[in-house]
């Protein structure tokens, strides 16, 4: 049995990445307007860092797959 995920999983991950990217773009726009409000609502910064790194790693994977 192969340990690699199926293609369907990768497609779902890609869609999820796209949605996350759009969500992050909105968050970044909001961050410049009410900075203190966003800081209060989002609280821990490590969550933002996690989402950013997850999106970046997903994009890197997609780019690598296109290159092959």
What are the pLDDT digits (tens) for 3-56? Answer: 555 555 555 667 778 788 888 887 777 666 565 665 566 566 666 666 777 777
Contact 19, 51 (CB under 8 A): no
How confident is residue 58, by pLDDT bands cut at 50, 70 and 90? confident
**What one-character DSSP code corresponds to residue 2?**
-
Q: What global pTM score does this model have?
A: 0.28
So where are the chain's domains?
7-67
Other CB atoms within 10 Å distance of the CB of residue 13: 15
Residue 51 has a pLDDT of: 74
d(CA 31, CA 12): 28
């Amino acid at each position: 049995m192969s340990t690699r995920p199926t293609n369907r999983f990768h497609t779902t991950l890609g869609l999820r990445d796209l949605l996350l990217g759009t969500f992050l773009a909105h968050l970044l726009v909001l961050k410049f307007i009410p900075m203190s409000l966003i800081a209060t609502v989002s609280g821990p910064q490590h969550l933002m860092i996690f989402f950013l790194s997850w999106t970046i790693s997903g994009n890197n994977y997609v780019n690598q797959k296109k290159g092959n």
